[in-house]
Structure 1
Amino acid sequence: MGARMVELKERVGFIGTGIMGAPMALRLKEAGYAVTAYNRTESKLVALVEQGVEVTVDLATAVRHQEVLVLMLSDDAALTALVESRGGVLAHVQPGTVVINMSTIAPLSSRRLASAFAAKEVSYLDAPVSGSAGAAKSGQLVALVGGDKAVFERVRPLLSAMTKEQFYFGEAGSGNDAKLVINLQLALTMQAIAESLVLAESLGLQRGQVLDMMQSSSLSSAFFGIKRSLLETEDFTPAFALKHMRKDLSLVLDAARPNGAVLPNALTSFGTYTAAVQNGLGEEDLSAVVVELLRQSGYTGENRRRDDAEGE
């Protein structure tokens, strides 16, 4: 049993090397795992090659003969296409493999995948992560896990190589449930900050000074500290793309309806993030939602008050 545990930690197929997946795969490699990384977009593998990670453009190679398979895709559609299509993951995965799905998808989709993998005698965990690209690089992500607890404990050392903490919530799909809860809080927090800045703009207050005030108040947070410079400079290089937050809010609302959860602010926020995506902000960091709210309030172009404006 001990030898099996060692093997389990050594051979890992990592599927999806985008803004989050690439640093996570690299952390596994640096922790001593034999990682084979795959991405549908070959250019997203280049940086990993330069850092010594084995990569492949052949999905079968990334999936077969692995003890653990990590999936880190952008949404339900991407994951379904890769897993269930002809020649996809299900066609190549071997009995005894542990699949760790770290993508943020609908809980119902996660439970369906768990059943599909179980039919292939493959263990399945959903383990989406809370945190952005910076946290992925530094290993400060938090894993939210659902599935068989014994399987979770078995692969916990691997999860620990990518995350600072792991929360186990129960059966398959419950990790994705938890991810929707934390991302709802994230979306509403960002919306509240953005609305406060729009009010400040309308009152003629300097944004830098307002941000200083916010950071000094009891309402400040690690999240605010991370986003503060983006809000001040309006350099919205994405750590978490706005389009993904819009997608997650859609999942939140879908999950809330069957259970009768009343989420009025979630519905309002979904409208704001949707408008932001429609107005070309989808690829920007989620903090760019402030630009959309300023636009709706009429503060665009010459109407914008800037800290370096004449007379200030």
Structure 2
Amino acid sequence: MLIGFAGLGRMGLPMATHLARAGHTVLGHDPGLGRAPEGVTLMPSAAALAEAQLTISMLPNGATTRDFVLTGLADTATDHLHVVMGTVGPALVRQLAADARVDVIDAPVSGSVSMAEAASITTMVGASPEQFERVRPVLAAMTAAQYHCGTAGSGSAAKLAVNAVLAALSQGVAEGLLLAEAGGLDLRSFYGVLRNSAAGAPYVGYKEEAFLAPDTAGVAAPVSLIRKDLALALDLARAHRLSLPVSETAFELLDAAVDAGLGQEDMARVLTALRLRVGSRSV
């Protein structure tokens, strides 16, 4: 299948590469990319992707996604299907599905860059049953699991709900580490206890180095990204008059981390933000 892929960043690049390895012909566009990744033909403009029968966007925010869908895909065939895989929120996806010349569905993903490289991420799909069956083989080349969540926008709602839990869990681990440290525990030893306790979710296990050795662990998901997703989740909550006190507190800490210059660091740096807060109070 001829597939257009807009957004070849940290997550999009390995995903597009997996599509090419699966035998698809992949046209890619990303102004920030200097050379084409394996198996992907770089196109000079987003509009050049419109010749594909299916396009995918993994773009950083709603504004760039809206522009690509409404402007870049203005000259496609009538049976063109576009898959929004970036996290932009359900309201925008539903607006694009209503306003765009092409069919629009969403399939945001859950997982880190290393999981994208291993094609072990999960995708949550908002589409009609027929659209889901059409796109599922393509998604299966990039992801380990594909969940049909409902109509367009439902995948984005599921992603925001997942990341609300993730942000709360990240803050919970950070607070637990501070408590353990205050109690005189060695944090490496305590983390083994935490990982094997009732609180030992998979996230706790694979984020150990990010929490305990952040300077060398690398960045899987930056603070700025999870902050953006949590802001969208809180927007959705407010639209439905929901009170999410844990998410609101987690967002305040992510905000503090960004203000401290940690926006491009891994989301586990909320522990650093908490330490800075403690330090400011002791002055």
Q: Which residue of 1 aligns with 2:248?
A: 267
Cα gap change, 1:92 to 1:202, in 2 (>3 Å): farther
Partner of residue 63 from structure 2, selected from 49, 66, 77: 77
- Which residue identity does 1:13 align to in structure 2? G
Q: 1:173: Cα distance to partner? A: 0.7
Matched, 1:257 2:244: no
Is 197-206 or 147-156 further displaced after alignment?
197-206
Letter paired with 1:24: M
Could you tell me how far 1:47 is from its partner in structure 2?
6.0
In structure 1, the partner of 2:21 is 30
- 1:123 and 1:151 in contact (8 A); partners too: no
Correspondence for 1:210 among 184, 190, 194: 190
1:241 and 2:222 matched:
yes
TM-score by length of 1: 0.86
Question: Alpha-carbon deviations, 1:34-83, whole Å to 9, x = none?
Answer: 0011112133xx361xx23211232222x222011001011112322433
2:278 to 275, 283, 297: 297
Instruction: Please give the per-residue CA displacement for 1:252-283, whole angstroms capped at 9, x wherever unaligned.
Output: 11101122222100110000001101111110
Of 167, 183, 190, the residue aligned with 2:170 is 190
Q: Match of 1:228?
A: 208
The match for 1:170 is: 150
Name the SS of the counterpart of 1:282 in structure 2. Answer: coil
Which 4+ stretches in 1 moved above 3 angstroms?
A: 81-84
Q: Which region of structure 1 is more displaced relative to structure 2, 52-61 or 133-142?
A: 52-61
Q: Choose from 29, 36, 53 the match for 1:67.
A: 53
Residue 102 of structure 1: aligned partner: 85
**Count of aligned positions:** 281
Q: Does 1:39 align with 2:30?
A: yes
2:149 and 2:193 mapped to 1: Cα distance? Answer: 37
In 2, distance between residues paired with 1:15 and 1:179? 20
Kept after mapping to 2: 8 A contact 1:42/1:57: no
Task: Tell me the CA shift for residue 94 of structure 1.
Answer: 2.8
- Report the counterpart of residue 52 of structure 1 in structure 2: 39
Cα RMSD between the aligned structures? 1.8
Report the AA paired with residue 55 of structure 1.
L
Letter in 2 for 1:80: R
More displaced, 204-213 or 89-98?
89-98
Aligned residue for 1:298, secondary structure, equals helix
Larger C-alpha radius of gyration, 1 or 2? Answer: 1
